[in-house]
Structure 1
């Protein structure tokens, strides 16, 4: 049996690694990927995970014609490469939206091939461009994906929210395959106090982070207790975020980029809550940042809808806060006892260990595999 995994973005390689490990126990596996690093914006063929690289056109801006051209270029070359062989299973990451079109052509030529689409992101829906999502060329971009999506035998979505957006909640072809992490929660040595509040923001501080929300929320909390913001990461909006919260009297501790799990845990142990915050216009149900926080056993101040909101409201892992509820939830957060926060940490660790680990990922894959093959 032969399985092909097709992926255009190095930002998805953690998931590719899990899939390759799963499939290798059942079949011969080939990973086909773009040689252009989305993260570094440069050519990169360093990953040992990839078996065959596709020479892909570079781009430098995330929202650009050059990027769309690059995606189309990759998709067309992937189709040409794949049609030269016969496949039992093709597991294809989407985006690129254009991959849906070209992989549907493979399915037409090789009808016995089981085609799996793995929806990691919805473009343009998840982009902070609410004014333009329903105008050309963004409508065309969406149609390129949607037109042939159901040609697949199985469609994984990284969260339940995407099925709602696509209006496919009752379609049996669609299954949720949550992101999973290899890391297990470390022992926690808490240093939080009930006389002050510390928050953490982890990850890229870019155009989709809601700086206005963070500024107003921390400012509202500052009315009750002294507030400190710990930053882990970088990004084009970082300086603006720092300036805005400092203006409100918030102390900022900048840890720069931290990749080591133990060092991140030491920072999380100093913080009461983690900021899991994006602009309202961004349609996303779960992020890798969320899993970092969960693995670090730190409860959330959350603005992300869908799955993460549901977890906050039903599993006691933090607070989902709407923009018009900032004052109300700032007061709630500031009056939480340490014992209540300890319970939230216990619950978020439990959620991570039961839903977002490698074992959970493999169980979902095994259930799908048995029905597919």
Structure 2
């Protein structure tokens, strides 16, 4: 039987909240008479805790083999301790691979860099086809938080060198956005064309969850604005709160900001919303089904990304479209801004400009007909670009073609 090893440092495991890409891929591949193993970390990046699940529990919840390699962990996303933690996991992965039978193909998520580097070296030394799936671009994401001219470039040079090694080692490049793929192609001499497969969601499953009896109902006299995702440095919820404060000063008091997610800045955002008397509900991290139930009750979604952030096409884009929501976007990524324009799913707003965002909210608040058109367009985008049942077929085709060539 053909053997594919999936290495995904930050994937979710069954029982954890979310909508993981690699769990979905492993499940689908396992039904195609392919031996699948997913290797991930013993440490949960989201909860910042060691995972506690027995082998017998794993065997009951997944059909494929799931292996967790020990990683010591860290408390802060941007820290030397996190990089050290990744380094230790990389060393432990190296030991694990040494004692594992040689796979026919390695499919590796990037980042982290420490783990992907070990996988790339192992593939090269053992003449194994190596496919990368770029989820984020490091060290660019770190530079946004720690950005000191010249100093930052020197500090992050080793990470950039590692990233370039991983990119150049790939036999195929899959990426969650054009932006990420272009970065990898600049240093890869083997790959002519990358494959862009957005993170997306399972629309069939999303719709089933949407149609389950609602756990929460929006009062008819309220207007709900949704945010889904991490509450961290890349996400400008302060601008959204400022915009809603402006609208309150104009006498609009029935807008409610629904924030679904968790992160290091959650307390800061909660305090800021309370200080500015903006009605905001912070739900914390939800099960995917709970998130869908609330999201589909909302009127509009916001995509408030901070200036200079490295993000391109991300998870929340798929969820917003699956829910058929108009989007108010402050993200500077030209790739996503073009999608907003092309599909007519909302408005691109001036980054970190509360007045402009308030004006766009007001436009949608008073125009149900415009919202209706944008809702339809948003759902069309989900069906065209974000439905995993359609778009992930490209990933399966690449993996099967590559593995066939090994025999």
Q: Secondary structure at the match of 1:126?
A: helix
Aligned residues: CA RMSD: 3.0
Deviation at 1:97, TM superposition (A): 0.7
5 Å-filtered alignment, 1:63-82, equals 63-82=78-97
Q: Secondary structure at the match of 1:93?
A: strand
5 Å-filtered alignment, 1:194-213, equals 197-213=223-239
Which of 158, 169, 172 is residue 192 of structure 2 equivalent to?
172
Deviation at 1:284, TM superposition (A): 0.7
Which residue matches 1:103?
119
Which residue matches 2:294?
267
Q: Does 1:155 align with 2:177?
A: no
Q: Does 1:41 align with 2:42?
A: no
Distance 1:119 1:325, change over 3 A: same
Q: Secondary structure at the match of 1:135?
A: helix
Which of 62, 66, 77 is residue 62 of structure 1 equivalent to?
77
Which of 325, 332, 356 is residue 298 of structure 1 equivalent to?
325
Q: Deviations over 1:311-349 (max 9, x none)?
A: 211111112212266534533442341011011111111
Distance 1:184 1:64, change over 3 A: same
State how many pairs are aligned: 370
Q: Equivalents in 1 of 2:319, 2:336: separation in Å?
A: 13
5 Å-filtered alignment, 1:216-295, equals 216-222=242-248, 223=250, 225-226=252-253, 227-259=255-287, 261=289, 263-295=290-322
Structure 1: runs of 5 or more not aligned: none
Q: Deviations over 1:244-276 (max 9, x none)?
A: 345445323344444253x54553355321121
- Give TM-score scaled by structure 1 length: 0.87
Q: Equivalents in 1 of 2:301, 2:10: separation in Å?
A: 27
Q: Is the 8 A contact 2:236 2:304 kept in 1?
A: yes
Structure 2: runs of 5 or more not aligned: 15-19
After alignment, is 58-67 or 238-247 more displaced? 238-247
Q: Equivalents in 2 of 1:12, 1:355: separation in Å?
A: 25
Deviation at 1:96, TM superposition (A): 1.6
Distance 1:277 1:329, change over 3 A: closer
Q: Equivalents in 1 of 2:401, 2:157: separation in Å?
A: 34
Which of 387, 401, 407 is residue 357 of structure 1 equivalent to?
387
Q: Secondary structure at the match of 1:137?
A: helix
Q: Equivalents in 1 of 2:222, 2:47: separation in Å?
A: 38
Q: Deviations over 1:57-112 (max 9, x none)?
A: 2222222222112212222332332244222110011112123432232233222x
After alignment, is 299-308 or 314-323 more displaced? 299-308
Q: Secondary structure at the match of 1:201?
A: strand
Deviation at 1:181, TM superposition (A): 1.9
Q: Higher helix proportion, which one?
A: 2
Which of 339, 347, 350 is residue 311 of structure 1 equivalent to?
339
Which residue matches 2:17?
none
Q: Equivalents in 2 of 1:110, 1:136: separation in Å?
A: 33
Q: Does 1:124 align with 2:124?
A: no
Q: Secondary structure at the match of 2:232?
A: coil
Q: Is the 8 A contact 1:162 1:284 kept in 2?
A: no
Which of 79, 102, 107 is residue 86 of structure 1 equivalent to?
102
Q: Does 1:334 align with 2:351?
A: no
Q: Equivalents in 2 of 1:12, 1:172: separation in Å?
A: 33
Distance 1:234 1:56, change over 3 A: closer
Deviation at 1:144, TM superposition (A): 1.0
Which residue matches 1:19?
25
Q: Is the 8 A contact 2:134 2:181 kept in 1?
A: no
Q: Is the 8 A contact 2:240 2:354 kept in 1?
A: no
Deviation at 1:131, TM superposition (A): 1.2
Q: Equivalents in 2 of 1:293, 1:181: separation in Å?
A: 10
